[in-house]
Amino acid sequence: MSQKTKAEELEALAAARWRVAAVLTAGTLVSYFGFILLVAFDKPLMGKQLAPGLSLGILLGALVIAAAWVLTGIYVLWANNTYDKALHQFRR
Partner 1 sequence: MNPQQAATSIGEPNTIAIVFFLVFVGFTLAITYWAARKTKTTSEFFTAGGGVSAVQNGFALAGDFMSAASFLGIAGLVALSGFDGLIYSVGWLVGWPVVTFLIAEPLRNLGKYTFADVVAYRLKQTPVRISAAVGTLAVVSFYLIAQMVGAGNLIHMMFGLSYEAAVVIVGVVMILYVLFGGMIATTWVQIVKAVLLLAGATVLALMVLVKFSFNPLALFQAAADQYGPEVLAPGKLVSSPLEAVSLGLALMFGTAGLPHILMRFYTVPNAKAARGSVFYATGLIGYFYLVTFILGFGASVLLGRDAIKLVDKGGNMAAPMLAEAVGGKPFLGFISAVAFATILAVVAGLTLSGAAALSHDLWTSVVRKGKAPEHEQLRVARLASLGLGILAIFLGIVFKGQNVAFMVGLAFAIAASANFPALLLSMAWKGFTTRGAVASMITGSVSAVLFIFLSPTVQVDLLGHTEALFPLKNPGLVTMPLAFLVGWVVSLLSPEPTAAGRFDEVRHRMHVGAEADAPAPAVTPVPVSVPTSSPQTT
Using CB under 8 A as the criterion, which residues of the chain lie in contact with partner 1 when the complex forms? Answer: 3-4, 6-7, 10-11, 13-14, 17-18, 20-22, 24-25, 28-29, 31-33, 35-37, 39-41, 43-44, 46-47, 49, 51-55, 57-58, 61-62, 64-66, 68-69, 71-73, 75-76, 79-80, 84, 87, 90-91
Q: How far is the CB of 18 from partner 1 (least distance, A)?
A: 7
DSSP class of residue 82?
I
Closest to 24 measured CA to CA, from 61, 77, 88, 63: 77
Q: How far is the CB of 91 from partner 1 (least distance, A)?
A: 6
Q: Using alpha carbons only, give the angle 54, 57, 58 rounded to the nearest 5 degrees.
A: 50
Query: CB–CB of 56/48 below 8 Å?
Result: yes
